[in-house]
Amino acid sequence: MNELPCKVLVIGGGPGGYVAAIRAGQLGLDTILVEAERLGGTCLNVGCIPSKALIHAADAAHALSDPHAFNAIGLSIGPPKLDFAKTIAWKDSIVARLNGGVGALLKKAKVRTLLGTATIVDGKTAIVRADTGESRVHAEHLVIATGSEPMELPALPFGGDILSSTGSLALTEVPRALAVVGAGYIGMELGIAFAKLGARVTIVEALSRILPLYDEELTQPVARRLAELGVETLVNARALEFAKSALRVAEADGSERAIAADKVLVAVGRRARTIGFGLESLDLTMSGPFVRVDDRCATSMRNVWAIGDVTGEPMLAHRAMAQGEMVAEIIAGEKRTFDRVAIAAICFTDPEIVSVGLAPDAAKAAHGEIRVGLFPFRANGRAMTKQADEGFVRVTARADSHFVLGIHAVGAGVSELSATFALALEMGARLEDVALTIHAHPTMSEAFHEAALSALGKPLHI
C-alpha cells in the first residue's frame, strides 16, 4: 500500500474542505484533499450552483411565457419553447467549469487531490481507496469536511419518482405534476422553479406556514407569489405515501387527500454525514447528530478539526468556507477564532429573502427595547423600473444605543444586498452609520438607507 505522509489531510472537497485545502496550501502546509465524487461538494454539484442555474432558466422561461409584464412595457413576443435537456446540459456545463476551476485552484496551491473514498483509521491516519489503488495517508492534522446529505422520509424513500434535491436537478424533462414535501428553502426554491418551468406544483408542509424558520412578515410576499404562480400550498399536512401517480396526504382536520403527481420532491432537511467512513472509531464528542466543535472548529480530539455541515446548523456554504479558511490558518499557527457576528441566510425564492442577524422578536427577547424600521420597495424608484416592487428592507436595532441587531429583506434580487447587510453587522453599525452612508440612486439598496432613517423616526420617501 502506498504510504503518503502529509501535514494536513482534508476529507471532503466541498466548499469547506476545498477552501481549507487551498488556504493550507497557500500557507505552505503539505496538504492532501480527498473527495469521493466531484470537487465542489453538494454546493457546487447538486446544491447552490445548479439550483441557481435552474432558477435562472425558469425565471427566463416564465417571463416569456407570461407576457403580461412584457406587454406592460410595450413588448410582445410569441410563445417560448423550452428544450429542458439543453437547459440541464447548460447547467452541467457551468458546474463542470466550476469543478475545473476548483481543481485548478487546488493545484495552484500545491494541494494533492485524491479522488476516492477515505476511511479514518485513527486521528492521524486514513486509508484512501481510489481507482488508482489504495493509499495510507498519515497526517498531523485531520480536517473532517464530509458535509451533509438529503434526509429521507421513511414513507417516501428516495428512488424512482421520489426525488431528493439532487435527483430533481438531474431530471431530463419537466414533470407535469410535481409534489414537493417540505416548504423549507430548498423545497420552495425548486418548487417555484419547476412551477415556472410549467409543472403543476403542490407544496406539502407539516408546520403551519411556508419557510417556517423565517418570520411571517418576511415570507408573506413569497406566499402571495405562490398563489400568483398557481402553486397550491398545503400546510399542517403530512405526506403519507406515494403510489399510482398520487401522493396521499393527511391534512390538519384528519381528512386524507390524494395529490396527482408524476414526481415527488422530498426536501425535509439535511443530515450530517458522520457514518460510513470510520469517524465512529475516533469516538469524538457529538452534539446531537453533529460533530461538536469549539469556536476554533476543534473537535474533542487534538489536531482533529471539523468544518461545515457536519458541525451543524446553519448548513451554509459560506459558513463552511469561513470555517475552512480559519482552520487552515490555525493549523499554520495563526491565532483565530470563529467570532463572526452574523452569517447571512438567503432563500432564492421569488421574491428572494435575505436574513442577517436577529429578527425583531428574537432581538426583543435578547436585548429588550428595540427599534424597527421598514421600507417597502413599492416606494423605491429602481424597483419600479425593474417591475419588481414587491417586498421591503427591515432594520432592527437596539433602542438605547441604536446598534443594529438584524437586517432582513424580501424582494427581487435582494440576495445581492446580503453583503452590505453583513458588513453593517460585522462593523458594529448603528442606525446612524447606515443613515449617514450615501446610498447610490437609483438602486434598490436605497431601501436599506430609508429603513434605517425610518427606524430613527425620520424617513424621507415615505
**Interface ranges with other proteins (CB under 8 A):** 334-337, 339-340, 398, 401-403, 426-428, 430, 432-433
Judge whether 135 and 4 are in contact, CB under 8 Å: yes
Q: CA 318 to CA 68: how far, in whole Å?
A: 37
- Residue 340 or 458 having the CB closest to other proteins: 340
> Which residue number, 267 or 405, has a Cβ lying nearer to other proteins?
405
The strand pair at 392-398 and 370-376 is best described as antiparallel
User: 141 in helix, strand or coil?
Assistant: strand
Of 85 and 427, CB closest to other proteins = 427
Q: State the nearest-atom distance from the C-beta of 241 to other proteins, in Å.
A: 49
Rounded distance, CA 77 to CA 49, Å? Answer: 30
End-to-end C-alpha distance for the chain, whole angstroms: 72
What the block records as the C-alpha cell of 70 is 412584457
Contact yes or no for 446/439 (Cβ under 8 A): yes
Instruction: Indicate which residues carry an active-site annotation.
Output: 441
Count of other CB atoms within 10 angstroms of residue 285: 11
* Closest distance of CB 404 from other proteins, Å: 9
Cis preceding-peptide flag for 15 (omega within 30 of 0): no
Cβ closest to other proteins, residue 215 vs residue 329? 329
Contact 341, 388 (CB under 8 A): no
Rounded to an integer, what distance in angstroms lies between the CA atom of residue 234 and that of residue 251? Answer: 8
Length of the chain: 462
The alpha-carbon radius of gyration of the chain (Å, integer) is: 24
Under 8 Å between Cβ of 88 and 172: yes
Count the neighbouring beta carbons within 10 Å of the beta carbon of residue 146: 27
What gap in Å lies between CA 303 and CA 8, rounded to an integer? Answer: 10
- Partners of 396 in the β-ladder: 372, 406
Q: Which is nearer to other proteins, 86 or 340 (CB)?
A: 340
Non-local (6+) Cβ contacts of 453 within 8 A are 373, 435, 459, 460
Shortest gap between Cβ of 323 and other proteins (angstroms)?
15
Least distance (Å) between residue 269 CB and other proteins: 30
Measured from the CB atom, the residue of 154 and 457 that comes closer to other proteins is 457
Smallest gap from residue 319 Cβ to other proteins (A):
15
DSSP-assigned letter for residue 43? I
Nearest distance, CB of residue 370 and other proteins, angstroms:
14
Name residue 286's beta-bridge partners: 291
For residues 171 and 88, give the distance between their C-alpha atoms in angstroms, rounded to a whole number.
8
CB of 425 to other proteins, least distance (A): 10
